[in-house]
Amino acid sequence: MSTLWHGRFEGGPAEALQALNDSLPFDRRMFREDIAGSRAHATMLADVGLLTVEERNAVIAALEQVETEFAEDRFETVPSDEDIHTAVERRVTEICGDPGAKLHTGRSRNDQVATDVRLWTRGAIDEIIDLVLGFQATLLGHAEQAGGAYLPGYTHLQQAQPVSLSHHLLAHGWALARDVDRLFDARRRTDVSSLGAGALAGSSLPLDPVRTAELLGFAGVFENSLDAVADRDFVLDTLYALAVLGVHLSRIGEELILWASEEFGFIGLDDGFSTGSSMMPQKKNPDIAELARGKAGRLIGHLTGLLTTLKGLPLTYNKDMQEDKEPLFDGIDTVRLTLLALDGMVSTLTFRTDRMAESASSPYAAATDLAEFLVSRGMPFRQAHAVVGEKVRRALAGEASLADLVANDDQLGPEAAGLLEPGVSPHRRTTRGAGGRTAVASQLDRFRAQLARDQARTSQ
């Protein structure tokens, strides 16, 4: 078998070495990026006079043929195809001969792989951003439809203050807006070319890294060749953005699981997006939401795994860095699958607003409104808290209903008792970002505007 380094070595590689070392089984999915990088490199080599125009054309035609072979799944590998870079170059040289042997001029797999991964990641981030924006639109649609529906708001998973359903849905929407922003951030740091750094030190040949960066549509180009081949921060940035997004999807999943339970009964699931039990005929399970919760674990694992891989590496490239791709690919695949399924589940579920209202209508849920009522009449808040607290304690002890105790109180009275009527409290909170109807109406406007801005950013 002829390796890339056969000149220096007498024997071929051991089977165990190859089995551990080969990355083609997983990095072949970057074939388009590898070929795009080679096309740009060959074009630049011709621009600076290191390839003739005929040689460049021969290489580019061969690259096109290899791309088709991969795309049609008829690329034939040979045992020496260690990774996608080796495989493409070997085949190009087979097809076009000597010009192919010039393709690697001034280039190393070290700058090549960094460039390929950057290209791949840039495209993957764009795809994930689109999916997150789609899911946000689903939440927005529900929030627009929710009208005056309200449910208990929770802290410590104890009923705290009732909030409108739109408000609750938009809370998740805003968290996802930060995910979109984080993904754009990761994209910005990904969008820098490494091509032209060589193995680590640049080149004595008149290469033009700015030209290849331009040809590949990168927004920037590396500043330091050592850093260019050693840097995988952009993969970490991406994995971090995916992990936080995964945590948000997990928290949404957890709520959907609670809400779909008999005990809450806040939502009904569409048959197409829920599963049954092999034994218990009555069951309808929220598997998608559970998997959204479960998948967050591996996304966090991918981030911590790669951080750990990178932390001890001296400059510059080390083979450990080949471990960047599987977590990255799996992270993107995992988030893609999860977003698609969760979006389907959420867009088809039905809200049981009667159950929500019923459970948010305990008079105790309006206790804070009573205290605020007293404050608006001039009482210091601490005192108001104590006055209402005393009524709650007496009502809980069975002395009378809270409404009666409030109505008969000198300072509270019948007007305050009106606040305990179901559905009154949630819409009284009118401050910016609050959960009442009027505040939510302007929040909806701001959310729509944010979504439109993010959608516009994707096409820039």
When the beta carbons of 70 and 317 are compared against ligand ARG, the nearer one is 317
Count the helix, strand and coil residues of the chain and give each as a percent rounded to the nearest 5.
65, 5, 30
- Residues 232-271 within binding reach of ligand ARG (CB under 6 A): none
φ, ψ of residue 98 in degrees (nearest 5): -50, -45
- Residues 48-87 within binding reach of ligand ARG (CB under 6 A): 83
| Token code pair at residue 433 | 């970002």
| Token code pair at residue 59 | 């290489």
- Residues 135-194 within binding reach of ligand ARG (CB under 6 A): none
Region binding ligand ARG by CB under 6 A among candidate stretches 34-42, 274-282, 318-326, 356-364: 318-326
Instruction: Identify the residue among 38, 93, 110, 368 touching ligand ARG (CB under 6 A).
Output: 110
41 counts as catalytic: no
Cα–Cα distance measured from residue 383 to residue 403, given in angstroms and rounded to the nearest whole number = 20
Region binding ligand ARG by CB under 6 A among candidate stretches 55-63, 105-113, 234-242, 426-434: 105-113
Closest separation between CB of residue 96 and ligand ARG, Å?
23
When the beta carbons of 23 and 361 are compared against ligand ARG, the nearer one is 23
Instruction: Identify the residue among 109, 122, 248, 427 touching ligand ARG (CB under 6 A).
Output: 109
Region binding ligand ARG by CB under 6 A among candidate stretches 108-116, 254-262, 291-299, 407-415: 108-116
Indicate the Cα dihedral angle 276, 277, 278, 281, nearest 10°: -90
Closest separation between CB of residue 229 and ligand ARG, Å?
9
φ, ψ of residue 80 in degrees (nearest 5): -80, 0
Cα–Cα distance measured from residue 342 to residue 289, given in angstroms and rounded to the nearest whole number = 7
Indicate the Cα dihedral angle 448, 451, 452, 453, nearest 10°: 120
- Please provide the DSSP assignment of 4-63 as one string: TTTTT-SSPPPHHHHHHH--HHHHGGGHHHHHHHHHHHHHHHHHTTSS-HHHHHHHHHHH
When the beta carbons of 232 and 352 are compared against ligand ARG, the nearer one is 232
Catalytic residue among 2, 261, 277, 442: 277
156 counts as catalytic: yes
Kind plus residue range of the DSSP H or E element containing 437: helix 437-458
Site size toward ligand ARG (CB under 6 A) is 10
Closest separation between CB of residue 192 and ligand ARG, Å?
18
Region binding ligand ARG by CB under 6 A among candidate stretches 149-157, 218-226, 316-324, 387-395: 316-324
Report which DSSP code applies to 157. Answer: T
Helix (H, G, I), strand (E, B) or coil at 198: coil
Region binding ligand ARG by CB under 6 A among candidate stretches 241-249, 313-321, 363-371, 386-394: 313-321
Q: 192: which strand partners?
A: 220
When the beta carbons of 92 and 412 are compared against ligand ARG, the nearer one is 92
Instruction: Identify the residue among 51, 60, 113, 186 touching ligand ARG (CB under 6 A).
Output: 113
Cβ–Cβ < 8 Å for 229, 111: yes
Catalytic residue among 156, 278, 376, 459: 156
Rama region for 313: left / alpha / beta (φ>0; ψ in -120 to 50; rest): beta
Asked if 18 touches ligand ARG (CB under 6 A), the answer is no
Q: Which residues bind ligand ARG (CB under 6 A)?
A: 23, 27, 83, 109-110, 113, 317, 319, 321-322
Supply the residues annotated as catalytic.
156, 277
